[in-house]
């Protein structure tokens, strides 16, 4: 299958060297599961579940989830989607995020950083590799191939044979057995993705503001969700005792 690569170089964008978990499941609905790195069993992916390198996330037929990272990067997984978090590394000099999108549809909003660092943000699919920086885009993987719609930013697309093309905002790229095809404007399916993106933008900007104002925002959220779950389990155990 053909592979294309979306390149974006060094940008002036906010940065903090993070310790501990870099992100978590922020919201979820219906069936969402995670296979933690080094295991072979799926478990429910509840809100506040930290994510690490090697974790695999899957959404059911009617499920969806949102993933929020400490740098403000936001990812929404639609129903019937499965992705692997292959690399999550942040240092004062670099940011390296790599995901393997096996199937389904995702919306990506990669956060910009306030200082000049080398950023490698890539999403692989069975038919494509998308390496981006500070860019908002949607990727859909199906039996027909991979479709990418660019909502903000500017990227270069290169196939495995080295031939390059440029994808501009408002344009769509499709990769399949016949190679890479670019089109000006969006398909009907990508127009729907753009509408979803426009609705999410202000909410994501609000989350990024809260992240910038409080370094421990993600940790606090994880702790709150863990406490809610512990309280729920305690209440359930108490009810069982009274039966």
- Write the CA distances from 160 to 108, 163, 164, 179, integer angstroms: 23, 7, 9, 10
User: pLDDT digit of tens for each residue in the chain (243 aa)?
Assistant: 444 444 443 333 343 444 346 899 999 999 999 999 999 999 999 999 999 999 999 999 999 999 999 989 999 999 999 999 999 988 777 888 999 999 999 999 988 776 667 778 888 888 777 766 568 889 888 877 889 899 997 776 666 555 667 788 899 988 877 778 889 999 999 999 999 999 999 999 999 999 999 888 999 999 999 898 888 888 888 888 877
d(CA 129, CA 158): 9
* Fold of the 4-190+208-236 domain: Jelly Rolls (2.60.120)
Other C-beta atoms lying within 10 Å of the C-beta of residue 223: 12
Cβ atoms 141, 104 nearer than 8 A: yes
**Reported pTM:** 0.86
């Amino acid at each position: 299958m053909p592979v294309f690569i979306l390149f974006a170089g060094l940008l002036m964008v906010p940065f903090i060297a993070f310790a501990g978990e870099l992100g978590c499941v922020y919201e979820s609905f219906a069936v969402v599961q995670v296979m933690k790195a080094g295991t072979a069993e799926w478990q429910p992916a509840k809100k506040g579940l930290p994510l690490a390198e090697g974790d695999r996330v899957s959404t059911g037929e009617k499920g969806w989830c949102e993933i929020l990272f400490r740098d403000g990067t936001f990812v929404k997984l639609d129903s019937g989607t499965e992705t692997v978090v292959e690399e999550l590394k942040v240092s004062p000099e670099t940011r390296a995020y790599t995901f393997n999108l096996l199937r389904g549809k995702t919306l990506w909003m990669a956060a910009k950083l306030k200082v000049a660092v080398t950023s490698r943000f890539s999403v692989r699919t069975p038919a494509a590799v998308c390496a981006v920086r500070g860019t908002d885009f949607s990727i859909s993987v199906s039996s027909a191939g991979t479709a990418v719609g660019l909502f903000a930013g500017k990227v270069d697309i290169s196939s495995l044979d080295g031939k390059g093309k440029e994808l501009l905002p408002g344009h769509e790229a499709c990769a399949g057995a016949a190679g890479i095809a670019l089109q000006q404007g969006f398909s009907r399916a990508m127009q729907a993705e753009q509408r979803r993106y426009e609705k999410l933008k202000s909410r994501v900007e609000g989350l990024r503001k809260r992240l910038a104002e409080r370094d421990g925002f993600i940790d606090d959220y994880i702790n709150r969700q863990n406490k809610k779950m512990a309280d729920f389990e305690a209440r359930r155990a108490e009810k069982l005792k009274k039966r």
